A and B are shown apart, each in its own frame.
Chain A
Amino acid sequence: AQSVTQPDIHITVSEGASLELRCNYSYGATPYLFWYVQSPGQGLQLLLKYFSGDTLVQGIKGFEAEFKRSQSSFNLRKPSVHWSDAAEYFCAVGVHTGGSQGNLIFGKGTKLSVKP
């Protein structure tokens, strides 16, 4: 079954520190992978996506993610976190056979808090 796992429900980092949010997926075919960010009470904003090619993809707001097929992972990274990065982050995989889950399968999200 297709699924996305974000093992960390909540992460706290200090401002200026580096960040890595983990994402593992389960999907039998070529994965199309996305990271979205959601500020409180807002919609989801697309940070970056991976379809093919270079396994390190750059996104908005200084974020990047690395696709590792052997580990079925698509971890999100940022070298230096800003207080404005505090939000919830969702990893997702685009499929064609999601059925009642829909064709964009989301992880449960990781809430990021930033300490001053």
Chain B
Amino acid sequence: KAGVTQTPRYLIKTRGQQVTLSCSPISGHRSVSWYQQTPGQGLQFLFEYFSETQRNKGNFPGRFSGRQFSNSRSEMNVSTLELGDSALYLCASSLGLAGGQNTQYFGPGTRLTVL
């Protein structure tokens, strides 16, 4: 079974631009969670989508948004990019709602660099 895939793997943008990242979960998984990873802050939870609905949201500004499609694929969007948005963005999928025994499987990440 194919794992979680994320596209693109690398992205370079300039301040003020917007960006869209894509995540395809493992086949049959209905939950997709997004995380931001930086050297200073570590792993930080962005949001989780399940059955096309946002179920949980981290403490990030409204510039960070996401959505999930009927095939469980998910996208996240960051508008008006700031230098501090440079990070590795990780997507994880699980069969059911994240948490408890529902194991999350991670993709390879998208490395976003904002200049």
Chain A positions near chain B (C-beta within 8 angstroms): 32, 34, 36, 41-46, 49, 51, 90, 94-96, 98-104, 106, 108-109
Contacts and interface: CB of A to CB of B under 8 A. Distances in A.
A94 B106 contact: no
Interface string B98-113: 1111111111110100
B33 to A, nearest CB: 6
A11 to B, nearest CB: 17
A44 B90 contact: yes
Given A36-B106, A43-B106, A43-B107, A99 B56 contact: yes
5 contacts: A42-B108, A43-B109, A94-B102, A100-B59, A103-B56
Given A41-B88, A43-B90, A45-B106, A100 B99 contact: no
Contacts of A100: 45, 56-59
Contact of B43 (A41, A45, A90, A98): A90
Given A98-B56, A108-B42, A109-B42, A103 B106 contact: no
B56 A32 contact: no
A102 B101 contact: no
